[in-house]
Structure 1
Amino acid sequence: MNKFKNLTILVVDDHPFTSDAYINLISKKKTDHNYNFLKATNCEKAFKILEIMVNKEKNIDIALLDINLPPYEKEKILSGTDLAILIREKFPKCKIVMLTMHSEHLILNKVYKTVNPEGFISKNDIDFSTFPDIFFRIKDGEKYFSPTINKSFQSLLSNTIKWDEIDTQIIILLEKGIQTKEIPNYIDVSLSSIEKRKANIKRQLADQKITDEELINICKTLKLI
């Protein structure tokens, strides 16, 4: 009996050398997984891989996606972001890692709010020694944003987000397992006000449909708590 688990990883980058580097670094680490790597250099090739996997009822466990990719205009997949949205739809359990050379606040924020990736990495923040550790941390369930990405978000949030000490207290109490309806027992704020604040925080950071647990993780990742 094969004691190793199969892990399917999609790597999409328009520079084949970069894709090969990711694959080699992941493969070198001894784990209890067999790796099945799928590679594409543009949105069209990636789309066709997704179609094949869906038709075969196969899963994609992790996707490493560059933001800037040659588009597939026929299917209106114009970037790695559009590709990530499609992967979320077809493979909801897939962990998505966005990689980029961009540092512009608005571009990064759009990707983050649209995709809510499990990993968001500036290529300037990784090398042959750091990438494997970061990848396996994400694989094992940690949400990871690299320093350049975090710095960009912090700069943007400090100028745009409405946040005060009460918001901090609400998220910290939620993290401790306190239910929303019980929070007025801990801080002098009405339940209706707390619910409005929570909805506003979710709207600013991601989507009002996210769970409290997802909200807490986002706040931790963005270092708001």
Structure 2
Amino acid sequence: MKKVFNILIVDDHPMIIEGYSNTIKWHFKEHPVFSFNIESATSIDETVKLVDNILPQNKFDLVFLDISLPDGNTTKMHSGEDLGLFIKSKLPNVKIIAITALNDTVRLLNIIKKLSPHGLLIKSDTDGEVLTTAIKNVIKGRDYCSHSIVALLKKRVTQNKVLDDHDIQLLVELSNGAKMKELLELLPLTKSGIEKRRRLLKEKLNVKSNSDRDLVLKAKEMGFI
């Protein structure tokens, strides 16, 4: 008897979900060992509702997770990483394959450090072969990164380039137009701590100007907010 795996595909583009789903069904339709049940969600809120209401016997084994998701309307989640951490808190044994359109090494390191996915793929080179290879590796307990990610990570970006939760929160509040008075109320940091983080963020993201606007634009370009 085949082992059945329950897959959840999360992406805000229905056509991408359809493409991944069709690829999985096609490549594994005659597989002798396992088969898949596939469900999907197109937003953070829809995914949270789905995971919260899932029955134990139908829990997901594998999640394909788009990192660049719009903010949730009913949650405080700002990204696929936040959603991935929520999914892992609800389903500790789930295996997550993160998929991103971003190919900046700093951003990729941030995804790895914060989420620790079992797989990491870049959308532009995720064809049928890459998708099925990732599935086969991950369900057998082996981590998998697509070749382009392996090449990018060989650039040896240092660990201090990674942004933590306070960095992300500061960037989010700056993007909302918060001034120092509001930042002191919103963040568990002193004025000097905020100023230091803002300076270090500009160094990490290679922003040459003193403008917070430039910092926010760069953070959005790199997919941090």
Normalised TM-score (structure 2): 0.64
RMSD of aligned Cα (Å): 1.8
The aligned counterpart of 1:215 is: none
TM superposition shift of 1:161: 5.4
Partner SS for 1:89: helix
The aligned counterpart of 2:9 is: 11
Deviations 1:114-155 (A, max 9, x none): 111100001122213432223222222221111222222221
Q: Distance in 1 between matches of 2:129 and 2:152?
A: 24
The question of 1:99 aligning with 2:77 is answered: no
Deviations 1:74-105 (A, max 9, x none): 22122111111011111111110000110112
Normalised TM-score (structure 1): 0.64
The aligned counterpart of 2:37 is: 36
Deviations 1:47-97 (A, max 9, x none): 1111111xx224210000010112214221221111110111111111100
Q: Distance in 2 between matches of 1:43 and 1:119?
A: 20
Deviations 1:155-195 (A, max 9, x none): 1xx24259xxxxxxxxxxxxxxxxxxxxxxxxxxxxxxxxx
The aligned counterpart of 2:120 is: 120
The aligned counterpart of 1:160 is: 158
The question of 1:25 aligning with 2:26 is answered: no
Question: Letter of the aligned partner of 1:18 in structure 2?
Answer: I
Question: Letter of the aligned partner of 2:3 in structure 1?
Answer: K
TM superposition shift of 1:106: 2.0
Q: Distance in 1 between matches of 2:99 and 2:123?
A: 6
Identity %: 28
Partner SS for 2:120: strand
Q: Distance in 2 between matches of 1:153 and 1:126?
A: 17
Q: Does the aligned pair in 1 maintain the 2:106–2:157 contact within 8 Å?
A: no
Q: Distance in 2 between matches of 1:66 and 1:119?
A: 12
Q: Does the aligned pair in 1 maintain the 2:7–2:38 contact within 8 Å?
A: yes
Partner SS for 1:75: coil
Q: Distance in 2 between matches of 1:8 and 1:27?
A: 13
Bigger mean CA offset, 73-82 vs 42-51: 73-82
Q: Which runs of 5+ in 1 are unaligned?
A: 163-225
The aligned counterpart of 1:205 is: none
The aligned counterpart of 2:149 is: 149
The aligned counterpart of 2:46 is: 45
